[in-house]
Structure 1
Amino acid sequence: MNRQHLMSNLLLLLTACIWGFAFVAQRQGMEHVGPFTFNAVRFALGAASLVPLILWLDRRAGRSKAERRRQYGKGMRAGFWAGLVLFGGASLQQIGLLYTTAGKAAFVTGLYIVIVPFLGLFLRQRLGLNSWAGAVLAVVGLYLLCVTNDLSLNRGDLYELIGVFLWSLHILVIDRLSKTTDVLKLSLFQIIVCSALSFLVALVTESIRPEDVADALIPLLYGGICSVGIAYTLQIVGQRGAQPTHAAIILSMESVFAAIGGYWLLDELLGTRGVLGCLFMLAGMLLPQLPSWKRKSPQTIS
């Protein structure tokens, strides 16, 4: 592993830590505001936190007006598509947190590490044996963690599970767009799109009151500045020097940090069955990162 890959992996691990504890903030924030209001405000705060940094970097780089205009145009176009996917994933995750714990939501969301390689099949990439084995372990873990005795999923877990497919798509979209677009401008515009769509839905479905937003200020500040403004930017910067599957593996560690945060700050307990399910899911997330059990071609996803 060269220096660039190591730095990218460390940035992605920091991102996972921030996102893990954000599950706690997201649950606490919804004690006062609805899910779309929470997302609208936190993504707006995230966008606002990026603007001064982007303007300062543009001045420092001495870019011409034409160059800045070109970069903003590319960032706006790329951010629109990334923001649509981000809105879908973030909305399902936030709604799911109304009905499930922070730790369970994070572990279910972490299944994108299993789905990303399977989506690679549409890019004509083959799956290694590790990916198949990891998928089996993850499904067993999901069953132990979320499926009840009558073989049904908790409502919140189901929302999180559907959202996994959008988070998986977001990993691949960012991987492609970050190679041709200024990462900060891509981050800014995807966040703006997500915030704007959340505001529109909140205006129709929820009651937005300033006093409720003020009561949720601390979770909103963490969710906006740290989880959105900082972490989503770190994700884009980190993914530029990391392979998509490896990036998904590291980012999936947010589930571990969320379980720690849920236990530490919210007194959430998973129980023996839940802990066993988490261990199976974690093994399924990490297995594709290990050396393949058989020789693979250059296009094989391990």
Structure 2
Amino acid sequence: MPDAASPSPASLSPGPSTVASAVAHFLDSLRAATTRTGYARTLARLTAVTGAHHPVAELEPEHYAGVMAAWDTAAAGTWNRHLSALVSFTTWAQRQDLLATNPARRLTRRATVRRDDRAIPADLLEKLFTDDRHPLRERVLWRLLYETAARAEEILALNVEDLDPELRRARVRSKGGGIEHVHWATAAARLLPRLLQGRQAGPVFLADRRAPTSGRRAPAAADICPVTGRGRLSYPRAEHLFKTASAGLDPHGEGWTLHQLRHSALTHLAAAGRTAPELQAKSRHQHLSSLGRYVRLGDETAARITAEHDPAARRRPR
């Protein structure tokens, strides 16, 4: 007969019964580092709203509404991104038999308004990239995002060890969790050594201040530069800096998003005549159908293709 004073197996391993522990288990279950980083911000807000020790089984729609209130005035895409994090966490918790209800049931995705000019004109991008009033860190980041057509999360997650300057490429963890390579051109290759200044390890893009070494805001060791002690530049900060810097060039005066650099790169390549398989190789989309949102060449291209492939067209003399 076990000693009455000895702890039971359940007390030794309580499992993810609180919001904080459930969030930690959920994030650990995600393979893709970029997804994990994006979801972590939303779920940190959930923990703050409910309290770390709140039972995950007692989550209510009011808790989720409190989380999403932080993004009430944000763009529809931002709202939908944070809502997706909550929905994914809810689905996981239900599969683990931690949650019997759906606290997200009163929340709905918002309709996004697509503008026809989401691709930034190349001349405006060049003007932005070459403006020495902007810090070197930002200009290198913008160049890399455009020249690689990579996702912002992938480039911000780069460490110096991931770079291959000789081949002008870097190793990234893709959206699906796999290891892939992105490639850049001459302009970024010329700027990168100035940014790194001989650093051999740590994040490529560093925050402005030294990272705290302890406490709730202390980052993981992998996100701290071993030379400067500064942490990794965050997506929200990088996005804010880009929107602020580009507001004067944006005809709408709102400033552009980091994702528009990827969109612009693919759109410009398509306009230059690159085929869909070539664009897929550059963007690393799993399906060709996904490229439709980036590539809209318009009536002129459709007319030219039709005319060039018209069987009744007069053959050109050799």
Give me the TM-score of the superposition, normalised by structure 2.
0.29
- Larger helix share, 1 or 2: 1
Larger radius of gyration: 2
Which structure exhibits the higher relative contact order, with contacts defined as CA atoms closer than 8 Å and separated by 6 or more residues?
A: 1
Give me the TM-score of the superposition, normalised by structure 1.
0.31
- Larger strand share, 1 or 2: 2
